[in-house]
């Protein structure tokens, strides 16, 4: 999504050790400029949480919801406007009633990731690897998974962090990086360390894996809950 030139400029000028997500990122001017250019190059018509998926046009959706309570699908496959419909749907009195939600008649409407819980931006930088380490040390299996169309928490860095954690804990590779299958298709790629710690990608999945690849997410979850490895073969011959 970005040019070689901008990629190289970012690599050369940015030191991500002290990067902050709020503008201007606590970086050199040349770095900030390169980042701005990269963001402009990607543009606002790409969903950062799913770079392959078509983008939603919220104004069309909101109008349709107000007029008819349902939405014409904008693109094939997953419903790209699901989060807007969700905001509408979860605020319908009959839906809240059916879910036994909001019995106290809160004075504000429901919204996704609302400010009510007062998350602090600082929490975003909390390193949870020591926590994962403690869980694995208790011999509880941990799987970390990542949709491969997500640019917000990209799989490349997550994969590296899991590998580094495994290395620090002295866990050897027990399943080398290889594809896993679901219904005759590649569901993604996975590595396992020390029979205990697994990193898996989900092919064609966004930031919210179960939303964009429900069946592959189910396959992944099933294997985890059953204490099994992800299937690394399929019975269907390719030709
Ligand atoms: C900004 O960068 C400087 C030097 O790299 C660092 O000392 C400082 O802690 C950083 N500030 C924030 C808010 O991260
Ligand atoms: C809760 O219900 C009231 C109506 O009783 C509604 O006005 C409000 O938007 C709802 N709040 C949430 C968080 O759903
Ligand atoms: C959340 O934080 C804001 C500002 O920091 C404060 O005014 C508000 O009372 C807090 N809300 C809750 C529910 O703690
Ligand atoms: C699949 O996994 C099994 C055991 O986990 C291993 O013996 C076999 O070589 C793997 N097959 C492929 C194609 O990677």
Structure tokens at 220: 């992944």
pLDDT of residue 18: 79
pLDDT of residue 154: 94
Rounded to the nearest 10 degrees, how much is the dihedral formed by the CA atoms of 92, 96, 98, 102? -160
Q: Would you say the C-alpha torsion 116, 118, 121, 125 has a positive or negative sign?
A: negative
Determine whether the shortest distance from the Cβ of 195 to ligand 4 is under 6 A.
no
Structure tokens at 158: 């997550």
Mutate to test the pocket of ligand 2, among 98, 99, 108 (most ligand atoms within 8 A of CB): 108
Nearest CA to ligand 1 atom 7: 18
CATH 2.160.10.10, domain 127-225, yes or no: no
What is the chain's pLDDT, residue by residue, as a tens digit (239 residues)?
999 999 999 999 998 887 887 777 889 999 999 999 999 999 999 999 999 988 888 887 888 888 877 777 666 667 888 888 888 999 999 999 999 999 999 999 999 888 888 777 777 778 899 999 999 999 999 999 999 999 999 999 999 999 999 999 999 999 999 999 999 999 999 999 999 999 999 999 999 999 899 999 999 999 999 999 999 999 888 88
pLDDT of residue 172: 98
pLDDT of residue 211: 87
Alpha carbons 85 and 101: distance in angstroms, whole number: 18
How far apart are the CA of 143 and the centre of ligand 4, in A?
Answer: 19
Work out the number of other CB atoms within 10 angstroms of the CB of residue 37.
16
SS (H, E, C) 20-52: CCCCCCCCCHHHHHHHHHHHHHHCCCCECCECC
How far apart are the CA of 96 and the centre of ligand 2, in A?
Answer: 8
Nearest CA to ligand 4 atom 1: 232
Domain borders along the chain are 4-42, 51-121, 127-225
């Amino acid at each position: 999504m970005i040019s070689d030139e901008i990629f190289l400029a970012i690599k050369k000028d940015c030191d991500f050790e002290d990067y902050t997500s709020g503008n201007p990122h606590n970086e050199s001017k040349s770095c900030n400029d390169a980042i701005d250019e990269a963001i402009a190059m990607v543009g606002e018509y790409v969903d950062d949480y799913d770079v392959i998926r078509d983008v939603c046009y919220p104004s069309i959706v909101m109008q349709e919801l107000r007029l008819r309570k349902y939405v014409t699908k904008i693109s094939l496959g997953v419903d790209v406007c699901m989060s807007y419909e969700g905001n509408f749907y979860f605020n319908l009195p009959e839906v809240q009633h059916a879910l036994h939600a909001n019995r106290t008649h809160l004075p504000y409407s429901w919204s996704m990731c609302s400010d009510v819980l007062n998350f602090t931006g600082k929490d975003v930088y909390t390193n949870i690897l020591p926590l994962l380490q403690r869980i694995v040390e208790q011999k509880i299996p941990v799987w970390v998974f990542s949709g491969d169309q997500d640019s917000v928490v990209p799989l490349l860095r997550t994969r590296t962090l899991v590998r580094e954690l495994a290395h620090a804990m002295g866990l050897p590779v027990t399943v080398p990086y290889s594809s896993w299958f679901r219904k005759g298709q590649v569901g993604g790629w996975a590595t396992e360390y020390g029979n205990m710690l697994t990193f898996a990608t989900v092919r064609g999945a966004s930031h919210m894996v179960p939303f964009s690849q429900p069946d592959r997410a189910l396959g992944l979850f099933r294997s985890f809950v059953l204490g099994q490895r992800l299937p690394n073969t399929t019975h269907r011959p390719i030709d």
